[in-house]
Amino acid sequence: MLHVRLLGPIDAVGARGRIDLGGAKPRALLAALALEPGRVVSATRLVDVVWCDNPPASARALIQTYVSTLRRAFAEAGHDGVIVTRAPGYALRSEAVSVDADRFARLLSRAGEAATAEDFAEAAALLREARALWHGPALSGVADPPLAGEARRLDEMRLSAAEQLYAAELAGGRLDHVAELTALVDAHPVNERLRGQLMVTLHRLGRRADALACFRTGRDALVGELGIEPGPELRELHRSILQPPDGPPPGEPDRTAGAANRQPPAHLPPSLPDFTGREGELRLLAEGLASTAPVHVVAGPGGSGKSVLAVHAAHQVAARFPDGQLYRELRGMTGSPATTGEVLGGFLRALGVPERRLPESDQARVELYRTLVAGRRLLIVLDDAANEQQVRPLLPAGSGCAALVTARDRLGGLAGARLTELGALVPDESMELLTTIVGADRVRAEPDAAARILAACDHLPLALRIAGARLAMRSRMPLATLAERLDDERRRLDELCAGDLAVRSTISLSFGTLSEQARTALGRLGHLGLPDFSAWVVGWLLELSDSGAQRVLDSLVDAQLVEFTGVDTTGTDRYRLHDLIRLFAREYAEKTEPAHVLRNTVEAPLHGWLALLRAVAATRPPAALIWQPSATVTVAKPPAERTRRVLAGVADWMEGEEPGLAHTLERAAELGLDVLVCEVLSAHTAVELGDSRYRFGERITSLGVAAAQRVGEQGTKAAMHAELARLRYAQDRFAEARAHYGEALSGFRIEHDVRAQAAALAGLGAACREPGHLAEALHFLDQASILVRALDNQRGIGHVHRIRGSVRLEQGDYEGARDDIGTALSAYREAGSNRGIALALRTEGLYHRARGDYEAALGACAQAADLFAALGDRLMRSYAVRAHAKAQFRLGAHQEALPRLEWALGVATASGDRFGQAVALRSIGQLHLARGRLDQALSRLDSAMVLWEAMDVQVWRARTEYDLSLVHAARGDATAAQACRTHAMGVFQERGAREFAEISGSAEAGAERLKHS
């Protein structure tokens, strides 16, 4: 186990000794994580810890670098997986790490329990063990305020442990600590408890004069340094030493009747009888309050059930705080938050301070409060805190006390506080809560309506309680009636109101704390209605820099109105709005923003995406030949750094943006922004993304086609036909693809757009090749070749000649295929297109395999697979791996080939690529046939046949049917074998496939020749 030391210089020790942690910043980051082992520390909090003020623009990226540095150092020391990534930041795995500060706190807790049981010897032993963990001031070497506060807290706990130690030893009759206690009092001259303990020790040792002198020295220090007289306890001790009273000697606990028998305060409100869910959060809170952490914060949006959870948890642990439980509603979200003096006045009265002895000033009340709670075991619950400034004076100093704070803000400035964040309930908890309120019979009778109510309430506890209350008050109302009312987004917030409970007013409290800029941002986000979004979207909506947008979002996250969901592949933070907050924000925007601003709320993000897509396509053009309609929408060039970050992982970035992009395009189409819709779609096509995303493609392409019809311009309509053709080709719907490419070609010819004509002709060639219309494919590709050569477009030459080479390979024109593939490779290399090179290498591998040169095939396919892997194109990598594996099993390496073929099948299946699935199934069937596993071969080949039939791909169907003829023959079914063979040969002859010429009259020779296909 890795041991992290915080009680002194920040350090880590593994099985092989001390680990080099690097500079101060990685050490600070480790300390922040180690202070909360097993809990997620947000990236925002880590930035604050490491830089405090003025973090650099690249702070979050640097945090990732420091985390990597620590992970590497730990791994080299034999401790892998210590730091894990969990949204919205990082965590230390509690089972993999031991933190001395945690052990210290546990020992203090055990010592407190022993002292309560009056086992003072055990308490003293535990406290001395705890003190032995220290080897210097806490968190030595870290000066930044966030951790400096933590260091002070730990040092105060160290001092408190000393106070408890000497109290335990005095209670147990030990006096051999006089020397160390004297040194400690000299180091802390105004600490009245330590001085009192030293006075008691000296008095019991018979050194009454020294005890009285100790008091005089302490009084001089208090008056000189703080301008105050000693407190009542120290003065009473001084008096008892001067004039010993009847009863216990000075310093002895008085166990007789009197003030000590005062009833401890029990201020907790009643816990809700129908409390539901939150089992994990409740367990962590109860464990934390009963053991290690002195301050716990429960944060969450309005209506998430913070107060209910806090009160429920406090009741569970109340018995561990025998000196009482103090509770106060701080009114943080109201216009009149509770003041320090007001709250402490109530607490001090509850602790037995008469009204006449209450100090006037807030500071004096704080000092008296902390004096009274020191050494006690009290639980303080502070509900609805406004900020850290309101909470700090109310926190107890004694290590036996704990504080539980609820707030909408996360109160990140409270040093050492453990954060529990609440969001929506999980669906099962939501259903349980609604069932508890409404009744199981009603919910069972209308389960679908109940599920709709849960969804409309966004699983927010307050909204569910309101909906449940409305149904409970109307026992005859069907659940479906309320569900129907809630389905209407315009009425939903009006419906979620019952008595003095209302979702709208709860959200409004948080909204009222925002700046004008943050309100505007939230309103526009609500109007836009994105499912999730990056910080860039806020920049586009408000015309802000990245740092400015981040500041606005930070304030929205702090107010619990926007949820941070993680960091995308560009290193940009991502966020989402809960539905009810989105509806509130939309209402605000529509009331306060003019129509042209609301229209711009849709346009601005599309302009941002359009600029990025154009920048990516210009920097990294696609390998395929595509149409490029003239740009009519002018957008500003994006920042170079933003483009660079997108280029580092285009496909992953686009996958994260697609839901928001599609939603915004739909909003744009509703507003009649048809030209913009078409331009964004064309720009998206120009970016090479690799893996198929059919659902997204269908969604946006249908928008583009409809928009083009409304625009009515010939070139735009042709471009959208081409977009739809490209989608249908990717979906293996080849007949539809040919029809739309034909429409596009006609439009491009009318427009005299030569490049676009070449792209449409190439598309027609590919759409003819797959189903086996080989002569037609060659017809279109020959025309495309003439055009791209006239344009001297190297990527176009590579694209057209690679496809034409594959058609000639299908026809058995090996010389023509070799020439075309060679031309494609040269053109792609000249153009610098790695994807094009990978595509051509895979086709070259197929050529070598068809010629029986399996070693050359292995080399070409391996290179292609590596290039696709580097490009992040998993689907095309699976094509290259499958081709490589097939060459392997042709060489007899069946055992190595089969798992790779199965992997390729899995990728194609996951991608929804029917063509890839069918080819992989056929290859696996051929391998089983070669190994004599006839049943498995038959099963896989039959599955491939079903897919070929669905796609109407006749040549590949015939190849698989010929394979089946060999299976039937091997099983002794000559009739079935002959039928399959005859039909397959007819298709080969009709489509001009090479198999017709290669297959001789004998099945054995035919099978041998078919191996190359």
State how far the Cα of 990 lies from the Cα of 771, in Å rounded to an integer.
Answer: 12
Q: How confident is the model at residue 690 (pLDDT cuts 50, 70, 90)?
A: low
Radius of gyration of the chain (CA): 37
- 79, two tokens: 């401790």
Q: Are 63 and 46 in contact (CB under 8 A)?
A: yes
Q: Stretch 582-604: mean pLDDT, rounded?
A: 93
List the domains of the chain with CATH numbers: 2-156 (1.10.10.10), 175-249 (1.25.40.10), 279-421 (3.40.50.300), 427-499 (no CATH), 913-1013 (1.25.40.10)
Q: What is the mean pLDDT of the chain?
A: 87
Among 1003, 651, 623, which Cα is nearest to 798's?
623
Q: Which residues are within 8 A (CB) of 299 and not within 5 positions of it... i.e. 6 or more apart?
A: 306, 406, 407, 408, 409, 410, 411, 419, 420, 421, 422, 560
Which tens digit of pLDDT belongs to each residue from 102-149? 888 888 878 877 877 778 889 899 999 998 999 888 888 765 666 777
pLDDT band at 253 (very low <50, low <70, confident <90, very high): very low
Residue pLDDT, tens place only, 543-583: 999 889 989 998 898 888 888 888 887 888 889 898 888 99
Give the model's confidence band at 244: pLDDT under 50 very low, under 70 low, under 90 confident, else very high. low
H helical segments located in 637-713: 640-647, 650-670, 674-685, 694-711
Residue 877 CB coordination number (10 Å): 25
Residues 6 or more apart in contact with residue 463 via CB below 8 angstroms: 303, 457, 496, 503, 580
CA dist 509 and 498 (Å) reads: 17
- What's the pLDDT score for residue 351? 86
- pLDDT computed for residue 995 by the predictor: 85
pLDDT of 429 above 60: yes
CA distance 937 to 969: 13
Enumerate residues 6+ apart whose C-beta is below 8 A from 216.
none
| Partners of 344 in the β-ladder | none
Q: How far apart are the C-alpha atoms of 849 and 49, rounded to whole Å?
A: 60
Q: Which residue has the higher pLDDT, 519 or 59?
A: 519
Among 306-310, 397-401, 549-553, 600-604, the least confident range: 397-401
Residue 143 has a pLDDT of: 57
Q: What confidence score (pLDDT) does residue 1009 get?
A: 46
Per the listing, tokens 């705080």 go with: 321
Model confidence at 259: pLDDT above 50? no
pLDDT above 60 for 357: yes
Ranking 224-238, 608-622, 949-963, 974-988 by mean pLDDT, the lowest is 224-238
More confident residue, 452 or 652: 452
Helix, strand, coil shares of the chain, percent, nearest 5, are 65, 5, 30
Write the pLDDT tens digit of every residue in 621-646.
877 777 666 677 889 899 988 898 88
In the predicted model, what is the mean pLDDT of residues 934-955? 92
- Cis peptide preceding 88, ω within 30 of 0: yes
Q: The tokens 């210089």 sit on which residue?
A: 9
The separation between the first and the last C-alpha atoms of the chain, rounded to the nearest angstrom, is: 56
Digit-coded pLDDT (tens) for 703-754: 898 999 998 888 889 989 998 998 898 888 999 999 999 999 999 999 899 9
Distance of alpha carbon 740 from alpha carbon 457, whole angstroms: 44
Q: State the DSSP string of 699-717.
A: HHHHHHHHHHHHH--HHHH
144-158, 584-598, 941-955: the lowest-pLDDT one: 144-158
Rounded to an integer, the average pLDDT of 185-214 is: 90
Residues forming beta bridges with residue 91, ordered by sequence position:
84
Judged by DSSP in three states, 578 sits in coil
What whole-number percentage of the chain has pLDDT above 70? 94
Closest Cα partner for 633 from 652, 614, 653, 660? Answer: 614
Which tokens hold the place of 395? 């926190």
Q: How far apart are CA 841 and CA 820, in angstroms?
A: 12
Is the pLDDT at 256 greater than 50? The verdict is no
| Token representation of residue 1005 | 């020779």
Q: What is the mean pLDDT of residues 650-658?
A: 85
Q: Which of 445-454, 499-508, 775-784, 826-835 has the lowest mean pLDDT?
A: 499-508
Res. 669: pLDDT tops 70: yes
Residues 6+ apart with CB under 8 A from 194: 159, 162, 163, 166, 181, 184, 185, 188
Among 217-226, 252-261, 722-731, 774-783, the minimum mean pLDDT is found in: 252-261
How does pLDDT run across 27-84, given as a tens digit for each residue? 888 988 988 888 888 888 888 888 877 788 778 888 888 888 898 888 888 888 889 8
User: What is the pTM assigned to this prediction?
Assistant: 0.65
- pLDDT above 90 covers a percentage of the chain that reads 41
50 contacts: CB under 8 Å, gap ≥ 6? 25, 28, 29, 32, 59, 62, 63, 66, 144
Comparing 399 with 2, the larger pLDDT belongs to 2
pLDDT attached to residue 691: 55
Strands 325-329 and 418-421: unpaired
d(CA 184, CA 190): 11
Does residue 1006 register a pLDDT over 50? no
**pLDDT: which is higher, 225 or 299:** 299
Please tell me whether residue 271 adopts helix, strand or coil conformation: coil
Instruction: Measure the CA–CA gap between 581 and 523, rounded to whole angstroms.
Output: 10
pLDDT band at 377 (very low <50, low <70, confident <90, very high): confident
Residue 811, CB-side half-sphere exposure with 13 Å CA sphere = 19
Amino acid residing at 86: R
